[in-house]
Structure 1
Amino acid sequence: MTRRKREDETENHDRWLVSYADFITLLFAFFVVMYALSSVNEGKYRVLSNSMVSAFRNVAVNSSGQNIVVMPPPVPLPTLTESNTQEASKHKQREKMRNAAKAILDVMAPLVAQGKVRILETSRGVTIEINDSILFSPGQALLQPQLITAMQSVAEVLVATDFPITIEGHTDNVPIKSVQFPSNWELSAVRATTVLRLFADAGIAAERLTAIGYADTRPVEPNLLADGRARNRRVTILIDSQIPEKGTELNLRGQSAETSEAPASKEAAPQQSTR
């Protein structure tokens, strides 16, 4: 009887270690939180808060009634290096594009002052809008000789960049029908291609260039008055800051081609073995 009593007393004296361990864990967590709050970072604070809540919820109770803390696997904190690098890259890209736009402004300054050239900055990049009256004769797609030098200077600025360039041709709604240009579609497309060929000859890589003819489908002014039609007859040069993404081909079931190729290859194996 006395021996059993002594064993119980020994077990009772050992239980203070559990409370002490819990206290040490809470104290450690308290100082971790205080340290984290000393240098506030919203992203790290959220991750730390979620980790602490998850850790203190994962508490199991064993058969003897003692609390056993089950620590979850460590949650990796988000590294700000990658996001900072991306932001720095975007900022550097935007600055490079603005520098190119400023250089083009200097080259086209007289035409900008006359309202014949407009340079706009959008979310996609920088757009150079050139009135076609200074580029081409009416109904023609050959560059005016006095504008060739200016366009070559623009090309020299763009050669030093690595942005994709899209050249768009636009017309008004007055129909054209000639042997060379059956409609405004052909006229706008050939005018865009003419500028593209000049850029390519100036040294801009062909894979960076795209030519599009929109005819009269994207007016910037109503075609009711002569001034509006003159504004709509234009060539725009888009210096695109976004690199086109590679698409994923879909089959008739709406699945990607990569997903649908796996079972097809498995069925092809027995067919080849029967031959």
Structure 2
Amino acid sequence: MYRRRMHEDEEDNHDRWLISYADFITLLFAFFVVMYATSTINLNKYQALSNAVVTAFQGKPGQTPSMDIQNPSSLQNQSAILKPLPLNYLYQEKKQRDQEKMYALGQQLANMLAPWIEQKKIIVSQGEFGIDIVMLSGFLFKADGMTLSDQAPYVLKLIGGQLKKELRSIQVEGHMDRHMFAHEVSPDIRRWEMTAAQAARVAAILNTRGIPNKRLSASGLADTRPVSSSENDLAQAMNNRVVIRVLTAESNAQQASNNMMQLQIDPGDGAALQQPAAEISAARP
């Protein structure tokens, strides 16, 4: 005789998989929270945690790393790390990088003009304001001082091809020895006119080689800046020269700043002449 079951078997619950799914979603959410937390690490807290772990495994049991807060040198080092870089340092760093670029440019020009540098016809040097390409006038021009020599167009073509790649301002200066035109009626006027014409001629040729007009300027300085005061022929030949100066970023910025800060001075009464120069513009008729 079979005994009757006291309770009927319960039906299977087919929704139990939801519990596992919820646990999985919870773990996945925790995983992304941990990933986000580790992606934004605080370096100081991370260093403290790293020191604590190292001490726990290598140091004495129960020993914790001590933060040397009372050490003045430690505080000074931390403040030095957190302190922002001064503007003067950033300016010097930028200037240093520009000087290095200018030196590299000067080296390229010197290598390109090496045959004429060896003949003492051209000098490439780096100064405070930029790279100077000094060319003797007798090398660039014929005896009349205005007609280009046979090799001048080729040399200027090489220089222009190199400088058009540089986004820098270029100044062309004409210089002359004081003995030039000494026997003429107005030697000073002739020297000013000749040096200005030579500088303008070189600047115009550089413009035809791809350098924009806005980056070029030309000026004649006559005999005001000789490189030598000797009376021999070599010194006089060195004084007769044309200089192509490639300005540094600092010199270019200073020149642009001076142009922007120009102040117009209006005519005033006689009392304005007794005032300081800075107050002259305030006078009105």
Indicate whether the TM-score tops 0.5. Answer: yes
Structure 1 vs Structure 2: percent identity of aligned residues? 22
**Distance in 2 of aligned mates of 1:170 and 1:195:** 13
Match of 1:117 among 99, 106, 122: 122
Instruction: Decide which structure has the larger Cα Rg and report it.
Output: 2
**Aligned mates of 2:219, 2:194 — CA distance in 1:** 11
Is the CA contact (8 Å cut-off) linking 1:131 and 1:231 kept in structure 2?
yes
Deviation at 1:102, TM superposition (A): 1.3
Match for residue 278 of structure 2? 255
Deviates more, 1:87-96 or 1:156-165: 87-96
Q: Show the counterpart of 2:153.
A: 148
Question: Structure 1, residues 189-234: CA drift from partner, whole Å, max 9, x if none?
Answer: 1001111001111111212211111111211112511111111111
Cα distance change of structure 1 residues 101 and 34 upon mapping to structure 2, 3 Å threshold: closer
Give deviations 1:172-204, integer Å, cap 9, x for gaps.
1224359xx961111111001111001111111
CA distance in structure 1 between the aligned counterparts of 2:119 and 2:79, rounded to whole angstroms: 53
Report how far residue 157 of structure 1 moved. Answer: 1.1
The alpha-carbon distance between structure 1 residues 225 and 152, as it changes in their structure 2 partners (threshold 3 A), is same
Shift of residue 260, structure 1, vs aligned partner: 4.5
Separation of aligned partners in 2, 1:110 and 1:136: 18
Q: C-alpha distance in 2, partners of 1:146/1:248?
A: 42
In the alignment, what sits opposite 2:229? 222
Gap regions ≥5 residues in structure 1:
1-29, 45-76, 265-275
1:200 to 196, 207, 212: 207
Q: Is the 8 A contact 1:142 1:194 kept in 2?
A: no
Distance 1:235 1:89 in 2: 30
Please give the alpha-carbon distance, in whole angstroms, between the structure 2 residues aligned to 1:137 and 1:32.
76
Counterpart contact for 1:173–1:223, Cα < 8 Å: no
* Counterparts of 1:189 and 1:103, CA distance in 2: 28
Question: What letter is aligned with 1:155?
Answer: G
Distance in 2 between residues matched to 1:105 and 1:91, nearest whole Å: 21
Q: What is the alpha-carbon distance in structure 1 between the residues aligned to residue 79 and residue 127 of structure 2?
A: 34
Are the structure 2 counterparts of residues 175 and 159 from structure 1 closer, same or farther at C-alpha, using a change threshold of 3 Å?
Answer: same
CA contact 1:249–1:256 (8 Å) conserved in 2: no
How many residue pairs get matched?
196
Give the counterpart of 1:133 among 121, 127, 138.
138
**Rounded Cα–Cα distance in structure 2 between residues aligned with 1:196 and 1:206:** 9
TM-aligned CA distance change 1:208 to 1:231, over 3 Å:
same
Deviation at residue 169 of structure 1 after TM alignment = 0.6
Letter of the structure 2 residue corresponding to residue 141 of structure 1: M
TM-aligned CA deviation for residue 122 of structure 1 = 1.2
Of the structure 1 ranges 136-145 and 160-169, higher mean CA displacement relative to structure 2 is found in 136-145
- 1:148 CA drift (Å): 0.8
Superposed displacement of residue 36, structure 1? 2.6
Other structure's SS at 1:145 match: coil
